[in-house]
Amino acid sequence: MLGKMGLGTCLAQAQSAASTPSTELMHRAEKNLTRTIVHDIFSPPIASRIYLYANAAAYETLVLEHKKYHSLHGQVPHFPKISGGESAAPVNYPLAALYAFFRTGGQLVFSEHLLTDSVAVILREFKESDSLVYQNSLRLGQAVSDSILKWASRDNYLLTRRQRRYSYSKAPGKWIPTPPGFIDAVEPYWSQIRSVTFDSAQQFKPLPPPAFSPDQASEFMQQAREVYDVTRALSDEQRLIANFWDCNPFYLNTQGHLNFATKKLSPGGHWISIAGQAAASAKLDWTATSATYLITAVALFDGFISCWDEKYRSQLIRPETVINSYLDETWRPLLQTPPFPEYTSGHSVISTAAAVVLTEYLGEQFRFVDKTEMEYGLPARTFSSFRAACDEAAISRLYGGIHYRAAIEQGQVQGERVGQWVLSRLRLRP
């Protein structure tokens, strides 16, 4: 955890003529948090939780200065009232916000030293000649972080860590772990996590999936056959799309008896990156940038709760298991099958939810270049809108061979409802 001694010591070097650097520092902070999440191999739902609380801390700090923006207090049940803006003590709010962001994120990851190393480098850009302003800013950032972490501690996360091991159903058509790692079920109790905006995790329960049947003429087997046929005739562009949106933090390499992980971005991390690139392209100021990150983080967080609620209700078998059992035992999907049930498609849900809120904040026809995957060896892709990006993310799961069409289409319906609900419940901007 980012303690007072370690963080305070590394920040002491950052003092020296008052200035507020550009919002690029906020984007750098997000990237450093993402790299730490990737390094620690957090599951997609847990990653969304880290993004939520770190960004809430930054936003709530900036709102203390910009009163036209709206705190989560009074909008979100049990959200604390953040104090500090009434003080006459001079404060650099962007400095305080980044301190709150790093301190909160540091409490939620394993490798806090990776964040600590980046704190001094980033906050050194705040050249404050007045040590009083500097210290006041750190104190405010810490106070906000403490409030957010106290709120986070009551979201049932620790309770879900103590649940019994997931018991697999032996009924036909139910999900079982898949090759090559046969990894146990990931976050089977995530629906118990406290949502930011929902009345309950079941609020946006989708239509049930097609009923399992091995009959080749059944709707279920027709959907499985589509996955099989599509993946055997992929174009180069379809392969690129599948890999661009892979975002599987559990990817396992197998070479003979040697198994090792390749660390990858989570789906939520990809959309946090898109939010940051879009905010930078739109040249948003500090508070508007922070609001964009936060509304995206809320959509992701609540989207995962809704999606995971359905996954472990329907417990639907993955295409890889069905195709190997009934169509072709030698077939393998282009992408590695993630370790949780099939229905609905997580990427379809959260991508659509994120696209809905970003469209509201930045516009229906917001054109952007997504460079997220470049550091993972893939070229940038250009999108005419956030909707176009989420549609591509969704269909990528069919190209990758890891989802049936019903999970993709109903996942997007579910994500649309989540995104619209978040917008109806939270007002951040003036």
At 40-76, the pLDDT tens digits run 999 999 999 999 999 999 999 999 999 899 999 999 9
Domains in the chain, ordered, with CATH? Answer: 4-155 (1.10.606.20), 166-425 (1.10.606.20)
User: What pLDDT, on the 0 to 100 scale, is given for residue 84?
Assistant: 74
User: What pLDDT, on the 0 to 100 scale, is given for residue 36?
Assistant: 96
- Span 14-26, pLDDT tens digits: 433 346 789 999 9
User: What pLDDT, on the 0 to 100 scale, is given for residue 388?
Assistant: 98
On the question of pLDDT at 237 being above 50, the answer is yes
The total of other beta-carbon atoms located within 10 Å of residue 176's CB is 14
Tokens 């992929």 sit on residue: 234
Instruction: Give DSSP secondary structure letters for 175-243.
Output: ----TTT-PPPS-TTGGGSPPSS-S-TTTTPPPPPPPP---TTSHHHHHHHHHHHHHTT--HHHHHHHH
User: What pLDDT, on the 0 to 100 scale, is given for residue 143?
Assistant: 96
- Which three-class secondary structure string do you get for 226-281? HHHHHHCCCCHHHHHHHHHCCCCCCCEEEECCEEEECCCCCHHHHHHHHHHHHHHH
Residue 139 burial class via C-beta count within 10 angstroms: exposed 0-12, middle 13-18, buried 19 and up? middle
CA nearest 141: which of 255, 58, 265?
Answer: 58
CA nearest 201: which of 187, 211, 212, 185?
Answer: 187
Separation between Cα atoms, residue 233 and residue 216, nearest integer Å: 21
Report the pLDDT averaged over residues 152-174.
96
User: What pLDDT, on the 0 to 100 scale, is given for residue 131?
Assistant: 85
On the question of pLDDT at 8 being above 70, the answer is no
Instruction: Give DSSP secondary structure letters for 265-332.
Output: --HHHHHHHHHHHHHHHTT--HHHHHHHHHHHHHHHHHHHHHHHHHHHHH-BPPHHHHHHHHT-TT--
Report the pLDDT averaged over residues 210-229.
98
CA nearest 304: which of 426, 402, 415, 412?
Answer: 415
* Ranges 31-35, 101-105, 188-192, 253-257: which has the least confidence: 253-257
Report the pLDDT averaged over residues 298-304.
98
Separation between Cα atoms, residue 275 and residue 372, nearest integer Å: 11
Question: How does DSSP classify residue 383?
Answer: E
Report the relative pairing of strands 258-261 and 252-255 from DSSP bridges: antiparallel
CA nearest 13: which of 142, 145, 116?
Answer: 116
CA nearest 177: which of 317, 313, 304, 305?
Answer: 317
56 Cβ contact list (under 8 Å, min separation 6): 72, 104, 148, 151, 294, 297
Average pLDDT, the chain: 92
On the question of pLDDT at 2 being above 50, the answer is no
On the question of pLDDT at 256 being above 70, the answer is no
Under the banding of pLDDT at 50, 70 and 90, the label for residue 130 is confident
The total of other beta-carbon atoms located within 10 Å of residue 347's CB is 34
Under the banding of pLDDT at 50, 70 and 90, the label for residue 10 is very low
User: What pLDDT, on the 0 to 100 scale, is given for residue 33?
Assistant: 97
* Ranges 87-96, 251-260, 393-402: which has the least confidence: 251-260
What SS3 state is found at 39? Answer: helix
Phi-psi region of 240 (alpha: psi -120 to 50; beta: other; left: phi over 0): alpha
Separation between Cα atoms, residue 422 and residue 374, nearest integer Å: 30
On the question of pLDDT at 1 being above 90, the answer is no
- Span 104-120, pLDDT tens digits: 999 999 999 998 888 88
pTM: 0.94
What would the two tokens of residue 233 be?
A: 């005739």
On the question of pLDDT at 392 being above 80, the answer is yes
User: What pLDDT, on the 0 to 100 scale, is given for residue 253?
Assistant: 67
User: What pLDDT, on the 0 to 100 scale, is given for residue 6?
Assistant: 46
User: What pLDDT, on the 0 to 100 scale, is given for residue 25?
Assistant: 95
On the question of pLDDT at 163 being above 60, the answer is yes
> Percentage of the chain surpassing pLDDT 70?
92
Under the banding of pLDDT at 50, 70 and 90, the label for residue 314 is very high
Under the banding of pLDDT at 50, 70 and 90, the label for residue 264 is confident
On the question of pLDDT at 345 being above 70, the answer is yes
